[in-house]
Structure 1
Amino acid sequence: MLPFVEYAAKGEHTASIIWLHGLGDSGEGFLPIAQELKLPDDLGVRFIFPHAPEQAVTINGGMVMRAWYDIKSLDLDNRADESGVKASAKAVEALIQAELDKGIAGERIILAGFSQGGVIALHLAPRLAFKVGGVMALSTYMCAPQKLVDEAVQPDLNIFMAHGSHDPVVSMSAGQLARDTLQHQGYQVSWQDYPMEHQVCYEELVAIREWLMATLS
């Protein structure tokens, strides 16, 4: 099981948000957002922020850091190491299963991710044997988008995507390609972009809160 930090539910635990960080970060990086979102106590949301494994990252000179997969090239078609994406997706699926085993319904589980974490979320959710309540993919892109049509088993997903129009790390066009691929597959995608770089802004947090409230209420 992946190690993680958590923000416990206020009151009865009836929903879970599993939030995956970006390259070189850790679960602690997004932990403060759980409180900043100010979700109502009666939603019963528990936040889980797992830590990616430590591994050498090729584009960073082989430096060892927390990463959901290796990045060998900045070329979008070869950026995400597919074998690494699959391995991390399997590890995250175990976290989801642990929530199901606690009695949390799949429709009350949100899979969220920023940058690399969003790649894992977008890869895993359409391929799960059960449906989750929603996917939140922030400043991210898709691994092997051409394979989605053959590998997706979920016919319906509620997806929130957001991206910075000035993002120098993951271009907004990469995020838009992921959005278009998902929409072509028939998925409902709520898209928003902001005049920011590779980050999360206040206006985005407001939109995230509204989407979570609508999805989990």
Structure 2
Amino acid sequence: MSMMVGMKLAGQAKLHSLVCSDLTDVGWMKHDPDFKKVKENERFKATIASLEEKAKHKKEGKGEAIYISASAEFRCRLKFPEGYDPEKTYPLLVGLHGYGSDPESFIGLWKRFDSPQFIYAVPQAPYPYLRGNEQGYSWTAQLPDENPAWERSRLESEEYVARLVKHLKNEYKVGDTYLLGFSQGCGMTYTIGIKNHELFKGLICFGGWFSKDWLVKKAGIDLNEMNDLRVFIAHGSKDQMVKIDKGLEAKEILEKHGYNVTFYEFDGAHQVPKEALLEAQKWMNE
């Protein structure tokens, strides 16, 4: 089975499960990579229209929904170097998983590093949702981008990660701190890292995009004033989820504003391969 056919079948299978579910909002689908290969298909468009109509009737029956911010507790997985000594100072690497993933999956990157001598922390994104029969998490609420609650959810996720980093710095003897992200987590890494540049020595960005408008127009950030960060960008030349052009665009924007950027292109798709991760580890040690 070709990769494209496999992707289409995955999208169709997921769509079938949604048709059979109690779905009340389909605006988030444009962000879901499972639908990337089928979203221009006429049958897919017709099904989406049907789901939207179904959701409209359900909404009318259930009443208007409003969204209120509230605090909650989220887990964070930690890995420590072999022979860890709590009296010694170690670098800290915080990893932000992609859309639909979880800490248990992303903590697995630990095995791909070469004898890591740093603390690795992976927090759970706040917003759960089901991908078929599997529980996944998102860094933003499953709402249309234009919904004010979506914007609040992103801002709150950014603040949550910054609080986590400060907490880890207080709990452990931490030296240089790096923020790593993949896919949606990569997009969050750019914005969190630049907004809180005083917390980090560098950013490691895999297979994602840089939301300049979000930082400049929404957050009022002057990129020229935050350019003390080192940035390592890695992107697969065969990435069909987030094209490599997005990684190159991020490099161009950041370099234009004076950032020290290292770009690593690897022969692969939407992934975090060992070879690229080892290059990032070398970069951290420079």
User: What's the TM-score once normalised by structure 1's chain length?
Assistant: 0.80
Do structure 1's residue 168 and structure 2's residue 236 form an aligned pair? no
Range with greater deviation from structure 2 (4-13 or 192-201)? 4-13
CA 1:131–1:53 in 2, change beyond 3 Å: closer, same or farther?
closer
Do structure 1's residue 35 and structure 2's residue 35 form an aligned pair? no
Equivalent residue in structure 2 for 1:23, among 85, 99, 111: 99
Paired residue total: 201
What CA distance in whole angstroms lies between the structure 1 residues aligned with 2:105 and 2:139?
15
Query: 2:139 — aligned with what?
Result: 68
Percent pairwise identity: 22
CA 1:26–1:146 in 2, change beyond 3 Å: closer, same or farther?
closer
Query: Shift in Å at residue 9 of structure 1?
Result: 3.2
What CA distance in whole angstroms lies between the structure 1 residues aligned with 2:279 and 2:215?
30
CA shift digits 1:121-152 (9 cap, x unpaired): 10011111624121101001012447449504
CA 1:146–1:30 in 2, change beyond 3 Å: closer, same or farther?
closer
Query: 2:193 — aligned with what?
Result: 125
1:1-217 equivalence runs, <5 A:
2-10=74-82, 11-12=84-85, 13-40=89-116, 43=117, 45-55=118-128, 65-70=136-141, 82-102=151-171, 104=173, 108-128=176-196, 130-145=198-213, 147-148=215-216, 150-152=220-222, 153-214=225-286
Query: Shift in Å at residue 205 of structure 1?
Result: 2.3
Query: Shift in Å at residue 70 of structure 1?
Result: 4.7
Question: Which structure is larger by alpha-carbon Rg, 1 or 2?
Answer: 2
One-letter code of the match for 1:112? L
Moved over 6 A (4+): none
Q: Is the 8 A contact 1:145 1:181 kept in 2?
A: no
Query: Shift in Å at residue 212 of structure 1?
Result: 2.2
One-letter code of the match for 1:100? K
One-letter code of the match for 1:39? S
Q: Is the 8 A contact 2:197 2:228 kept in 1?
A: no
Q: Considering Cα pairs closer than 8 Å and 6+ residues apart, tell me whether 1 or 2 has the greater RCO.
A: 1
Q: Name the structure with the higher helix share.
A: 2
Structure 1 unaligned spans of 5+: 74-80
One-letter code of the match for 1:90? E
One-letter code of the match for 2:167? A
SS at match of 1:17: strand
CA shift digits 1:104-129 (9 cap, x unpaired): 45x61111100111111100111116
